[in-house]
Amino acid sequence: MSMLIHWVTQIIVFILLATIIDLLVPANAMKKYIQFAVGLILILVFLKPVFYLFQIDVKQAIQTNFQQQQNEILKEDVLKNTMEKQKREIESSERAYILQQMAVQLKNLANKEVAKEFHVQITNIDFEFEGGTSQLNDNLYEKLDKVVVYLQETDGGEGNVDAVNEVVIDTQKKETDAPKDTEAIANALQQIWELDDKTLILKWEGGST
């Protein structure tokens, strides 16, 4: 009730002031601008309760809207992180599948020949790339640094090679300390796979020690 009385009092006082101002201002071009300004202020005074109520609603609306925007931003960040994670997992699966297919193809190309000539078989092939597999793109051969070949003796009697822990054949070097049979296997694999500028690492599994 006191708010209503205060509002009515403001209207009455302002009307009186507006009347006095209108009487004091001389009749010239400025008078109509002053009357226009006074009229706007009077309208604002009349609408003050509405603005007061509206101001409360605006405050609540701003707070609600801000909270909603914050929630939307958080949801977008979570969705973005989830998509990035799924993208990395898909890319990792694709790279693993590509490397697996590469290993299968290389084994199929060489296993028959090395089994016949050296009585060994390729059990597995690993690849090492410059920068790691996370940097792989379509240029796999350019990024390829080392090919690790795991060998195992077969039942071939004569011609079997003695098992060693690891033999590194750098195809860029002409000389090697590898055993004769291992060097021959490495040279054969180098020719079959055309690894002229890559490092070939032979690792033996099983056999005599």
Which structure tokens are listed for 115? 């089994």
Alpha-carbon gap, residue 144 to 106, rounded angstroms: 14
- Tokens 């090395």 found at: 114
- How many alpha carbons lie under 13 Å from residue 177 in its C-beta half-sphere? 4
Count of residues making up the chain: 209
Instruction: Summarize pLDDT for 68-77 with one digit per residue, the tens.
Output: 878 888 888 8
Mean pLDDT of successive 10-residue stretches along the chain, which has 209 residues:
77 84 78 78 75 58 72 87 90 85 89 88 88 62 85 64 48 44 86 84 68
Nearest to 144 by CA among 133, 155, 153, 134: 133
Whole-number pLDDT of residue 174? 40
Whole-number pLDDT of residue 191? 87
Contact 128, 145 (CB under 8 A): yes
Contact 115, 88 (CB under 8 A): no
- Tokens 């694709």 found at: 94
Whole-number pLDDT of residue 150? 92
Whole-number pLDDT of residue 161? 44
Whole-number pLDDT of residue 149? 92
Contact 150, 185 (CB under 8 A): no
Strands 167-170 and 199-205: antiparallel
Alpha-carbon gap, residue 162 to 60, rounded angstroms: 83
Whole-number pLDDT of residue 163? 44
Which structure tokens are listed for 174? 């002409």
Alpha-carbon gap, residue 61 to 67, rounded angstroms: 10
Nearest to 22 by CA among 7, 6, 38: 38
Longest dimension (CA), the chain: 129
